[in-house]
Amino acid sequence: KKIQPKKDTYVIASDSTFAPFEFQNADGKYEGIDVDLVKRIAELQDFNIEFKFIGFSSAVQAVESGQADAMIAGMTITDEREKSFDFSTPYFNSGIQIAVKKDNDSIHSYEDLKDKKVGAKIGTESADFLEANKDKYDFSIKYLDTTDALYSALEIGEIDAMMDDYPVIGYGVAQKQPLATPIPREEGGKYGFAVKKGKNPELTQMFNEGLAELKRTGEYDEIIGKYVKDGS
Ligand code: GLN
């Protein structure tokens, strides 16, 4: 028996540019793993959604303040976030990684970041990692709003390195972003669909049911395979 939606339309907040999870295609329409998963799950489970691609930290605030019912944004499930969100079952294994300009030949380890400026997006797992390690390795942090802004800042030399999720950097490299990843990645992050804690439990349930169905039918693998090729 299907779970009953409790709202006419659920507002789902997301990042603004986080390819291959959410990004605008050549027609200016949003697509990506997160977008396709939620759209299919909403179809299968019979509920209506409205996406708002407002950026990662704005999405967190929108859910916390009740302006959005949930978010999907390559969001890592963490103990800290579990205090204010209910997460779905994990839908993607990820982790974070440093990227530098492709022609950079001076950065090969975290030690090499000494006196350098490292960029990250506000409120992310990468930002937390950099905060926790900046004194140890003696680098400074520059916060920017989007992954695209990090790529641009790296390009013009405003930052010496950036940190972001490795499937995102891998996709950037596959799309010919001039990046190199000289330092091994930090594994272990798992993405979840997040609903404000204690609110709309039916929405989390519908997501979980729909995700399980997409995994059963192989459609989950098709969606991932559409965006992530082997080795990236
Ligand atoms: N996975 C990272 C986090 O949860 C980054 C998410 C993002 O930038 N959209 O913090």
Asked if residue 73 has its Cβ within 6 Å of ligand 1, the reply is yes
Asked if residue 34 has its Cβ within 6 Å of ligand 1, the reply is no
What local confidence, expressed as pLDDT, does residue 123 receive? 93
Asked if residue 18 has its Cβ within 6 Å of ligand 1, the reply is yes
Band (pLDDT 50/70/90 cuts) for residue 232 is: very low
What local confidence, expressed as pLDDT, does residue 68 receive? 98
Given a cut of 90, whether residue 52 has pLDDT beyond it is: yes
Band (pLDDT 50/70/90 cuts) for residue 229 is: confident
Mutate which of 14, 93, 126, 169 for ligand 1 pocket (most atoms within 8 A of beta carbon): 126
What local confidence, expressed as pLDDT, does residue 2 receive? 85
Mean pLDDT of the chain: 96
Q: How far apart are CA 87 and CA 208, in angstroms?
A: 10
Residue-wise pLDDT for 58-87, tens only, equals 999 999 999 999 999 999 999 999 999 999
Q: What is the dihedral of CA 144, 146, 152, 153, to 10 degrees?
A: 10
In this prediction the ipTM stands at 0.98
What local confidence, expressed as pLDDT, does residue 230 receive? 62
Atom of ligand 1 nearest to the CA of 56: 9
Task: Let me know: does 223 contact 33? Beta carbons within 8 Å.
Answer: yes
| 61 Cβ neighbours under 8 A, 6+ residues apart | 67
Compute, in angstroms, the gap from residue 214 CA to the centroid of ligand 1: 23
Atom of ligand 1 nearest to the CA of 147: 8
What local confidence, expressed as pLDDT, does residue 188 receive? 86
Which domains occur in the chain, in start order? Answer: 9-91+192-227 (3.40.190.10), 94-188 (3.40.190.10)
Given a cut of 70, whether residue 45 has pLDDT beyond it is: yes
Indicate which residue's Cα is closest to atom 5 of ligand 1.
124
